Amino acid sequence: MDMQELKRKCAGRWFSLYEQFGIQVRSDGRHSGCPMCGPGRNKHRFRVSDLGGDGTWICTQCGAGDGIALIQKVLGLDFKETIERIEEIVGGCKKMDKTQDIQIDKTDTKALLNKIWSESAPLSGSDPVSKYLHTRKLVLQPDNVRYCPHCYESDTQKHYPAMIAKVMNSRGLPVALHRTYLDFDKPMKADIESPKKLTPGLESLTGCAIRLFEPKDNTVGIAEGIETAIACTQLFDIPTWACISNTILEGFEPPEGIRRIIIYGDNDASHIGARSAYLLANKLYNRDFIVEVEVPEKQGQDFNDVWLEVK
């Protein structure tokens, strides 16, 4: 295996890779709990610096290393299997053999996804998820967003009410679930370190999205967050999907039949949202898609913030 070539393919993609392996880390360089020695033990001992685009991290308890080392340590794999799993996502190599352990992992993941989804219910307009969305002036209720009364949260090891959304690949198949944990008493996100989490995926999340609404006139909009995507649909009358994060947004793959994509980027202070929007726009433009990019005028805003000001 050519390690230099692998690192080149992974450069700048480590936060997306961490998400796809179910590893919860902060992408803003701030300290948090460590996914190796226990996220609930010390919330200030670990951070990802991603120096040189290598996914580098440091923990005052576990030491330091690159992205390969973090995935290896968190998942408890040997070095060879870690490399094979990473290569299966970033491409450029033969897929690894389907060993029994990996088959069991996928079976367990599918069972987990089915359990969470079956324990959830469609939005009614008066459930806690609907009430949370109403605080953001969001009234549309997508079919693939549901309410789960008791959803397990791994950092606190407690159950919370949660907004559940189905993540689908470019072929329209469900591959993961996104959870937004909510407060028990108030219509707001739970006061925990990471109130938004992805389940492990059945496959790479590259190219995936939360398909909130049916496309119209061969057109779809995409944004990062669920709330932002619903706000864009209400604001512009463009069916908009959520790509969860800027890194997954960069790899968005339009499904068959879509010709026009409108990318609604976040205007965050770091400019990462706009950067990701234009990176994707350039990639799709070079593939002859009709592409537009919209970014809020005010720095620090996403389009849900814009919608709140309009209303």
User: In this predicted model, which residue has the larger pLDDT, 135 or 100?
Assistant: 135
Would you give the DSSP letter of residue 239?
-
CA-to-CA distance for 292 and 236, rounded, in angstroms? 13
In this structure, of 60-69, 215-224, 283-292, the range with the lowest mean pLDDT score is: 60-69
Q: What is the mean pLDDT of residues 254-283?
A: 92
- The answer, yes or no, to whether residue 264 has pLDDT greater than 50, is yes
**Residue 99: pLDDT band by 50, 70, 90 thresholds?**
very low
Has residue 156 been placed in a domain?
Answer: yes
**Is the domain of 242 the same as that of 279?**
yes
Lowest mean pLDDT among 75-89, 233-247, 271-285, 289-303: 75-89
User: Is it the case that residue 82 has pLDDT exceeding 60?
Assistant: yes
* Distance between CA atoms of residues 164 and 122, nearest Å: 10
Reported as a single tens digit per residue, the pLDDT across 56-81 is 999 888 888 899 999 988 877 788 88
Which of 18, 192, 13 shows the shortest CA–CA distance to 92?
13
Does one domain contain both 76 and 116?
A: no
Beta-strand relationship, 290-294 and 57-59: unpaired
In this structure, the answer to whether residues 193 and 127 fall within a common structural domain is yes
Residues 246, 190, single domain; the answer is no
Q: Of the ranges 27-36, 44-53, 87-96, which one carries the lowest mean pLDDT score?
A: 87-96
* pLDDT at residue 95 in the model: 36
In a domain, 61, yes or no: yes
Residue 20 corresponds to which tokens in the numbers above? 């796809």
Q: Is the pTM of this model over 0.75?
A: no
Q: Domains in the chain: how many in total?
A: 3
**Full domain range(s) for residue 278:** 219-310
Give the confidence band of 102 by pLDDT, cuts at 50, 70, 90. Answer: very low
Query: Is position 290 within any domain?
Result: yes
Alpha-carbon distance of 141 to 230, in angstroms, equals: 9
- CATH code for the domain in which residue 31 is found: 3.90.580.10
Shared domain for 43 and 125, answered yes or no, is: no
Which among 166, 163, 142 has a CA at the least distance from the CA of 153? 163
CATH number, domain at 240? 3.40.1360
List the one residue out of 142, 143, 162 whose CA is nearest residue 152: 162
- Rounded to whole angstroms, the Cα distance separating 23 from 48 reads 12
Residue 33 lies in a domain: yes
